Every structure is written in C-alpha cells, then in structure tokens.
Amino acid sequence: MAADATAADRVAEPVSIVSHQGSGVLEIVWADDHRSRIAHARLREQCRCAACESQWRRQGTRLQADPGLRLAQIHPVSVQGLNLVFSDGHGRGIYPWSLLRQIGELPEPLTPASP
Ligand SMILES: [Zn+2]
C-alpha cells in the first residue's frame, strides 16, 4: 500500500448519516464537507465480513446485489463505524468510516453487465 496520500491517516468522521429508503441510497456528510452517496446494494456488495470475504476469495468476484436491496438497520459501532443489516437478512458486516468513505469514491453507478 502506498502511503503517499496527504490525508493518509486522517479519516474524517461523519456529521450526518441519512438513509433514503425510497431511492436506496445512504447519504453521508463528512466533517470535511465531503458528501458520499452510496447505493444500499453497493454497500452489500462491499461487505467485508468473513463469509463475504471468503466467497470473494473463492470466486474472485464480489456478490452482485439486487438493486432493490435495502438497508434494514444501521447500528453504530462505538465511534469507528457502522454495522449494517440488509433486507436480505445479511447483517454481519462492519463498515469503518474509512471503508464507507472509500466505497463512496468508487465509480458510479452500479452498472449491470451489458448483454
Ligand atoms: Zn458479509
């Protein structure tokens, strides 16, 4: 890992977290005014729990979440991140702020593979 980023070890914390159930978007406003809008399905795809990680390692691809998937519950995990529970019942993933910020920077949108 290259550590050349100026903001290397500084992880901004969120000042606001809003889940839009209708559009299926989690909106996070960070302390540095940056705004992340992340599809619920994408959060599910980026789950880092042991089960998802091992599936990723075995198959070499991330799970493709249904775009209709929604966040069911959001639990704060101390001061460092969120535990997200999804409408498919999956709820083991812990999302540290740094990961959420990183997922928010992934290229938009969730494009289904072309036929
Ligand atoms: Zn998982």
Cα of 46 from ligand 1 centre, angstroms: 8
Cα of 84 from ligand 1 centre, angstroms: 10
The predicted model scores a pTM of 0.82
Q: Are 64 and 45 in contact (CB under 8 A)?
A: yes
pLDDT at 79: 82
Can you list the positions of beta strands (E) in the chain?
14-20, 25-30, 35-39, 71-77, 81-86, 94-96
Q: Are 77 and 93 in contact (CB under 8 A)?
A: no
Q: How many Å apart are CA 90 and CA 47, to the nearest integer?
A: 9
Cα of 21 from ligand 1 centre, angstroms: 20
Residue 31: other Cβ atoms inside 10 A: 13
pLDDT at 115: 52
pLDDT at 114: 47
Tens of pLDDT, residue by residue over 52-103, are 999 999 999 888 999 999 999 999 998 899 999 999 999 999 999 999 999 9
pLDDT at 8: 44
For 15-104, CATH number? Answer: 3.30.2020.30
Q: Which residues surround ligand 1, an ion (CB under 5 A)?
A: 47, 49, 52, 93
**For range 25-45, the mean pLDDT:** 96
Cα of 112 from ligand 1 centre, angstroms: 21
